[in-house]
Chain A
Amino acid sequence: MRRAAILLLPLALLACRQEMAQQRRLATEGTSTLWPDGAAARAPPEGVVAQGALARGIQGAPARDIQGAPARDATMPPAVTPALLARGQERYGIFCAPCHGPAGDGDGMIPRRGFPRPPSYHEARLRAAPAAYFFQVISQGYGVMYSYAARVAPADRWAIIAYVRALQLAHSVPLAAVPDAREHLP
């Protein structure tokens, strides 16, 4: 009987988690008792500029880089290119369309489930609003809409705005501006 028990002993190995599988380090979203919020991950201190932020034009970066060349100003819109529009379309789909709807009418899925309905991008006031106003709304939020500063990087905000402009334009194109419109109608 005892011998048989010894044969079963290796089964206990199954329950082992070796030191190598759980190393003595903090996991990316692990816990730690060092800080009051219990999280191991830390937010960078106020005013920290990430490496390469100047070249990428991140908001809050100093106006000049180490060589003294003027850094790209993130609060200035970049040139509109097809690549920027494509990026904007993708980001708009992820972050804005759930509420503002795929065409910007303000009839996304979330308002349909009871969220306050956002205004349509096609109303005169928002058509006339400058791009910088949209930048401000995305960065700081507006009314019940939360800020997207933590989720949408400044470069992507401009891409989204370019796409919103394209939506606004597409909404008010006269038929004469689309010569082959008939071919696209059902």
Chain B
Amino acid sequence: MHGDPDEARPPRDALQAQLFPPWATLVARLALLALVLLPLGLLGLLMALQYSPYVTGQGITPDQPVPFSHEHHVGGLGLECRYCHGGVEVSRFAGLPPTETCMTCHSQLWTNAAMLAPVRRSLAEDRPIRWRRVNNLPDYVYFDHSVHVRNGVGCTSCHGPVDSMPLMRQAAPLTMGWCLGCHRDPAPHLRPESEIYAGHWTPPADQAARGAALIGHYGIRTAHLTDCSVCHR
């Protein structure tokens, strides 16, 4: 029979030493911590990825059927946006120029350039040139060009310095946060009518005072601009 029950067992320390090495506690604690931090980190990474240029498409320059250069046509020749994007001040949509608009000049200029072959083919076959979209919002977002360009928001506030772009790229992230950033406080972005269509624009030194005056000039009421129904109708 047994006398002292402890006698049969090895000492306590020796037992533990067999099952877990001394650093096991640390590992266990770290594992617990990782259980919490890893999903959080992954979630954070996902969130960050959502706003990275890789997902928003900011800075992407799609290949176009004709390497049309805004740098040459706007910056070099001084053509105005509305010569080609005629819908911009009267409709939701800025619109792209029909082939006939290109041929206004290219029926006489660069008539043999290989670069312009797709333009001539488009005219001959009466099929529009298939430009690839650069800026594209999801279909559930309502956007309107005319309300912006007639109320002091210039093209380059959203499309970047167009007159120095050899090929068009998406200049803004086009996320909801980006839209709201301006809708909460549009004053720093507002310009007078004469500068809406400028190929590049930097705010003057006294923009704070000018912006406040322009809010009154255009009669912009900012209170409702962040309502969901403004952009999700």
> Which positions in A face B, CB cutoff 8 Å?
7-8, 10-11, 14, 20-23, 25, 27-29, 31, 36-39, 93-95, 98, 109-110, 113-116, 144, 146, 150-151
Contacts and interface: CB of A to CB of B under 8 A. Distances in A.
B102 to A, nearest CB: 11
Contacts of A114: 108-109
Which applies to chain A's interface (DSSP): helix, strand, loop or mixed? loop
Nearest to A148: B104
B112 interface: no
Contact of B42 (A10, A27, A37): A10
Which applies to chain B's interface (DSSP): helix, strand, loop or mixed? loop
Contact of A21 (B105, B126, B138): B138
B77 A110 contact: yes
A46 to B, nearest CB: 16
A31 B79 CA distance: 28
A7 B126 contact: no
A146 B100 contact: yes
Contacts of A39: 127-128
A84 to B, nearest CB: 17
Interface in B92-111: 92-93, 95-96, 98, 100-101, 103-105, 107-109
B233 interface: no
Contacts, number: 72
Interface stretch (B80-88, B113-121, B169-177): B80-88
Is the interface on chain B under 10, 10 to 19, 20 to 34, or 35 or more residues? 20 to 34
7 contacts: A11-B46, A21-B138, A21-B139, A25-B139, A98-B77, A115-B108, A146-B103
Contacts of B220: none
Given A11-B46, A14-B55, A151-B86, A23 B104 contact: no
Contact of B46 (A14, A25, A29, A113): A14
Given A11-B46, A23-B139, 19 more contacts: A7-B42, A20-B139, A21-B138, A21-B139, A21-B140, A22-B138, A23-B140, A25-B139, A28-B92, A38-B127, A38-B130, A39-B127, A39-B128, A114-B109, A144-B108, A146-B103, A150-B98, A151-B83, A151-B86
Contacts of B77: 98, 109-110, 113
B38 interface: yes
A38 B105 CA distance: 25
A146 B104 contact: yes
